[in-house]
Amino acid sequence: MVKNISNYEANLNDTGPAARFAKLGGTFLTDATTLSKRLGAVRALVFDWDGVFNEGVKRQGTDSGFSEADSMGTNMLRYGLWRRDGALPVTAIITGQNNPTAESFAKREHFHVLYSDVGDKGDMIDQFCATYELERIQIACVFDDINDLSMAAECGIRFLVRRDSSPLLQEYVVRNECCDYITAAEGGRYAVREIAELALGVMGDFDAVIRSRAAHDDDYEQYFSARQAVETQLVRRSVA
């Protein structure tokens, strides 16, 4: 397991929410206090699809799916940011493939935009920033592989979804400071849910978000109405 030893041990010995994720096997390259500060600037969420919401496995005639646990995670994280900011975080999927399930998911969850068939994800995220008047430092990016590195570069927070068969890639992102946290879970094993709960935990808002959602109270109803009003934009690019 790749670790930034000082930050990993600091969070392992902590008594706060980060300790739970360190003990679970999550790897902190940036300490939880700094993550919390960076989350304060986040106004957008960007997800890769294959290898993040699923194992990235393809078969003839099928496409890759998602889990409801991860879906709930994205919803709760968006709600937590809405509670804090009074506005929805701009939420996107950027994928190199044309995946009907990703499209269905983005529409169902009312993400702002799905970019598909993307060759240069770094260029695409720059266009995303221009379209929604964002800076990269305001983005939390969730990714899993080499073709995502240009997308994750200079984003405010970078979450790498673990794949234990890629130890050299994990070492590369550590050496080159390409991410802030490596998940305990692999793609298709609820890594997105892990990231969402970690983010809400270090923000200090997990319990309040869950209580509100469980009660389906007025705050959650207002958020949900705003979420449901989002019309998902579908942008398809040609793979280079």
> Which amino acid, residue 58?
K
pLDDT confidence tier of residue 55, bands split at 50, 70 and 90: confident
Asked, for residue 1, whether it belongs to a domain, the answer is: no
Asked, for residue 7, whether it belongs to a domain, the answer is: no
Which structural domain, as residue segments, surrounds residue 144? 41-236
CATH of the domain at 72: 3.40.50.1000
Asked, for residue 92, whether it belongs to a domain, the answer is: yes
pLDDT tens, residue by residue, 123-167: 999 999 999 999 999 999 999 999 999 999 999 999 999 999 999
Asked, for residue 13, whether it belongs to a domain, the answer is: no
Per-chain mean pLDDT for the chain:
91
Asked, for residue 25, whether it belongs to a domain, the answer is: no
The number of domains in the chain is 1
The dihedrals phi and psi of 92, each to the nearest 5 degrees, come to -140, 155
Sheet holding 157-162, edge to edge: 27-28, 181-186, 157-162, 139-143, 44-47, 90-94, 113-116, 233-236
| Candidate from 8-12, 65-69, 98-102 with smallest mean pLDDT | 8-12
Task: State how far the Cα of 131 lies from the Cα of 125, in Å rounded to an integer.
Answer: 10
pLDDT of residue 15: 64
Asked, for residue 91, whether it belongs to a domain, the answer is: yes
Asked, for residue 169, whether it belongs to a domain, the answer is: yes
- Among residues 53, 65, 70, the alpha carbon closest in space to that of 161 is found at 53
Is the per-residue pLDDT at 4 higher than 60? no
pLDDT tens, residue by residue, 102-132: 999 999 999 999 999 999 999 999 999 999 9
How far from 230 is each of 3, 15, 92, 104, 192, CA to CA, in Å? Answer: 39, 38, 12, 14, 21
> Which amino acid, residue 125?
I
Asked, for residue 95, whether it belongs to a domain, the answer is: yes
Is the per-residue pLDDT at 10 higher than 80? no
CB 18 within 8 A of CB 201: yes
- Among residues 43, 73, 31, 10, the alpha carbon closest in space to that of 156 is found at 43
